[in-house]
Each structure stands twice: as structure tokens, then as C-alpha cells.
Amino acid sequence: MSDTGSIGPLVSDEFVIPKASSRAFRVEQGQHLRVIAHEGKQVADLRFLNAADPAEQFSSWLSISLNRIAGTGGTRRLQTLHSALPRQNLMATVVSDDAGRHQFYGQCIAAFYDKMGQPGHANCAELFEECLAPHGIGMANLDDTSVFNVFMPVRYLDDELGTYEFLGPSCEPGDAIVFRAEMDLLVAATSCPEETIVNDFDPKGMMYQILDPPG
């Protein structure tokens, strides 16, 4: 899934989201968002919202279903990202993907760490709330499962419970995934703080570039 020729050459903004932190930012229609594992194996959690109406948000299950029908993706990768019912609008398109294996689910929450004996641990749900608070958006306004878990592969086990296990990040240092915004987007992103195989046992930061379209 590569269309690097269509990626705009001009970087209009570049920043790093340090480990265990988050940031919300705009990506205008036609711009490209490049997410880079510049420090090594690491997962980024992304939420895509309509910048003009944040109630319209990326739907993981609908996007998986539509990509499966079109033959362009499924539970490991997506080419097109769509908003939830009833709108079902195209929000973004993946135009380049070095790793090609991700997850589309939710985010780590305080209850997970409580059960693992780590109360008070940083978690992506609270990081999302922190970066979206200036926009008047809290977890109550979000679909808690519609997250694009960049570079986070899982293995589904052939057991009677249908369980799964996390694998190490699918990326290598310098790998990137590039999205083209199909509408003006508000993107919320976290550098996952989990100190397990999910982040190669060493949480890191992630680099972001916003690129202007060619011409």
C-alpha cells in the first residue's frame, strides 16, 4: 500500500510526542500526516475527529467492515478510514505504510493497570482526555473503541474463548505510516506508556509531520 509520489514535499509542521504523553492537532483536508517511529519500536494511539464537528469520529468496526468488503483491508490494516453511523463519511486514506500491521480497538485504561498491580500508572485514555480537554472533549464524548493503534499487532488464538495476545511493535526504527486527510481533521495522538511487549518493554516518543499537498 504505497503512494509515496502523492506525498507533499513541504513539511508545514513537525513535532515529537514524548513517551507517555499526548497532543491534539489539526490536519487540513488534502494534507498528509506522517507518523514516524523515529526512536524505535513503539505504538501510537490515534483518534480522528471531524474538526468542524467533533461528534463525527473514526469508527474502527465500520472501517474494518468496509475495507473487508472492498478487499483493501481488515483487522490488520486499513486503506480507508470512515466515520461512524449514521454519517459513514470517508475521513482519511492511508497512502503509505511501512509496517502494514496494526490494531483498531481501544486504548489502555486505569482499570487495566489496577488489575496488573500498577495503580496510578499513566494510560492512554487519560492522555486522550488531557490533550482533548482544551477542545471541550472528554471520554464521555468519544467512542472508547474507535482508536487506530499504529504499529500494534496482535495474534488471535485458536481457543474456545477467542482470546488474543499482544506482539511486539510491527515497526522498525524509522518506519512510518502516512494518512491523507479527506476532511479537516482534529487528530488526538498518544505515545503509549505501557512497559510491556506492546512497546518492546521500553516506551518511547513518536515523530509527526504534517505535509502540504503537492502543487
Residues 6+ apart with CB under 8 A from 174: 36, 37, 38
Indicate the pLDDT class of residue 26, thresholds 50, 70 and 90.
very high
How many C-beta atoms lie closer than 10 Å to residue 90's C-beta?
Answer: 13
How is residue 132 written as a grid cell? 482533548
Contact 193, 20 (CB under 8 A): yes
Q: What average pLDDT score do residues 21-46 get?
A: 98
Specify which residues 165 forms β-bridges with.
Answer: 155
Return the percent helix, strand and coil in the chain, to nearest 5: 20, 35, 50
pLDDT at 7 over 80: no
Q: What average pLDDT score do residues 106-132 get?
A: 87
Give the helix/strand (H/E) hosting 197. none
pLDDT at 2 over 50: no
**pLDDT tens digits for range 149-185:** 999 999 988 888 889 899 999 999 999 999 999 999 9
Reported pTM: 0.92
- Closest Cα to residue 167, out of 190, 178, 184, 151? 151
